[in-house]
Amino acid sequence: MGKLLYNREVRRYLLALCTPALLCLPLCFWLNKAAGFLASALFLNALLVSLLFTRYRYRRLEQLSGQLAKICAGEYVMDIGQYAEGELSILSSEILKITGALSHQAQSLRRDKAFLADSLADISHQLKTPLTSVAMMCELLSDPHLTGQKRAEFLAGIRQGADRIQWLIASLLKLSRLDAGAVAFNIRPVALAALLEQAASPLRIPLEVKGQNLRLEGAEGIVLPCDKHWLAEAVGNLLKNCVEHTPAGGHILVSCAQNALYTSIAVSDDGPGFDKDDLPHLFERFYRGRNAAADGVGIGLALAKTIIQSQGGVITAQNRPGGGALFALKLYGGAVV
Amino acid sequence: MAILEVTNLSKVYGKGETAVHALDNVSFSVEAGQFVAIIGPSGSGKSTLLHMLGGVDRPTSGKVSVEGNDIYALDENSLAIFRRRHIGLIYQFYNLIPVLDVEENITLPQLLDGRKADRDHLGEIIATLGLGDRLGHLPNQLSGGQQQRVSIGRALINRPAMILADEPTGNLDSRNSGEILDLLLLSNKKYNQTLLLITHDESIALRANRIIAIEDGRVARDEVIRL
């Protein structure tokens, strides 16, 4: 009971309750002794009941505070509490939710750390290969008896290796910046047709070399909120994947549509399509499928997916019923970022 | 720690010779944020399993733990309240209250708690589901796809530990089905919402993180198909 009095509001409450009583009760007695006793009894009853009730409520609050204190200390205690109607029970439910969220967060942080460690290992492994070949070429170049032709060959090899390392580092940097949420997207209304042009432009030459045909459908008049630069890169990576896996003379189609919920972009080709075993792993980093391009590293699709997801979009890959691969991209407008 | 742990769950309907073993010693656990698809032929026990998980019906034996709490240690009333606050349920036939409008249907779990809706959270859910211009309409003024979106909103409003969906696209055409599934996936990623979805549609099941196949009341297969 003494502890209750620590609470300022309880003291005020007692004051507000007892003062009129102390003034009026003697008056009652003076008017009529029996009435006086009755009034006193009633008053004492009211006082006792309200104090007991208040003590019960403060005990419950104390319990909940104790639970919160444990959570602060990192001990995620999930007590079932009482499931009843009323404010105290609702408070208890909300605390349970917070506890759950915190403990899951702690778990996922641990997982992220492990993932990061693995990523670093992957990255250094990926860089080792071209670096080793560059080092080897340098060794070979130091031979004084090399022919001019051989020398030119090795120099080209070094140049290639250096390009590759640069490209790898640039891609990995992009991925890690996206992962860390360190990229500030510049979301603006963008004309889809212009975006697709931008995505396809680095592929004009490979398309011509392989005699492949790229068709864009349905993009006229569609405007969507997105970051043009990053999204063009993502779509470009999808197109690149199609160009690489479709034989010479093949066809690549990009068809678009827009509705109240989202804008959809479907990139498809008429090549051999995806290997069934590859499908669940397509967008994983450094995953190289059965028919991977010889110097593919498995970053293009992973990067595309990360970019798309960071802008509130969804991407899936599947085989078309008539043969060939299909990347289905859905970008939800600003409401869902 | 797993958000859901099922241990030796069994459900038997009837007695003696006419006893039907709807579920037979089912055990598995689900981590927070996972999207699990539960597949299986008709009558295999999928819906029974979901009802056990949601606290809608009591098992004959076994334990279901949500966020570390054994839900069947609670009495009926407490279980109903627990379900209202911590579990979101989505059904194939929407099950909206016909006399309440869209906003009231979505905030029903909070109204039953005697609370006023948190306007920011409600606004976010409504924007995500694309229901902004339908808030005052009654369920019979909405299309199937829109009604199902309202049910999703209702399931999300209380930030439940997990969402249980029983064939949510079963009553919709393929385009609406795709949109509903995308919305569920979005909330799975955005709110790190654990989602258990019953379906007999393989294409839907393949979009999950994990597939559990139920046959004759038992877990026939349990594989993670993507991380």
Over the stretch B182-202, which tens digit does the pLDDT of each residue have? 888 888 887 788 999 998 887
Contact between chains at A84 and B77 (C-beta distance less than 8 A): yes
φ, ψ of residue B152 to 5 degrees: the values are -65, -40
Choose among B118, B183, B116, B120: nearest CA to B148.
B183
φ, ψ of residue A38 to 5 degrees: the values are -60, -50
Query: A286-337, pLDDT tens digit by residue?
Result: 777 666 665 566 788 888 998 888 887 888 898 888 889 999 998 876 443 3
Contact predicate B10/B21, CB 8 Å: yes
pLDDT of residue A82: 66
Mean pLDDT computed over every residue of chain A = 84
Mean pLDDT computed over every residue of chain B = 88
Q: Which residues contact A75 (CB under 8 A, 6 or more apart)?
A: none
b/e per residue, A92-123, with b = 16+ CB within 10 A? bbebbbebbbebbeeeeeeeeeeeeeebeeeb
pTM above 0.90, yes or no: no
Task: Give ∠ CA A184-A186-A189 in degrees, rounded to 5.
Answer: 155
Residue A225 vs residue A78, higher pLDDT: A225
Identify which of A76, A85, A261 has the shortest CB distance to residue B179: A261
Kindly compute the dihedral angle of the four CA atoms of residues A243, A244, A249, A251, in this order, to the nearest 10 degrees: -30
- The three-class DSSP label of residue B97 is coil
| DSSP letter (8 states) at residue A256 | E
Size of interface A-B (CB pairs under 8 A): 72
Give the confidence band of A269 by pLDDT, cuts at 50, 70, 90: very high
pLDDT of residue A78: 64
DSSP one-letter string for A114-150? HHHHHHHHHHHHHHHHHHHHHHHHHHHHT-TT--HHH
Interface test with A, best of B67, B124, B202 (most A CBs within 10 A): B67
Contact between chains at A100 and B114 (C-beta distance less than 8 A): no
Q: What is the ipTM of this complex?
A: 0.71
On chain B, the residues whose CB falls within 8 A of the CB of A82 are 78
On chain B, the residues whose CB falls within 8 A of the CB of A284 are 227
Q: Does A288 touch chain B (CB under 8 A)?
A: no
Q: Which residues contact A260 (CB under 8 A, 6 or more apart)?
A: B130
Residue B225 vs residue B86, higher pLDDT: B86
Instruction: Give CA–CA dist B206/B209, Å, rounded.
Output: 8
Contact between chains at A82 and B186 (C-beta distance less than 8 A): no
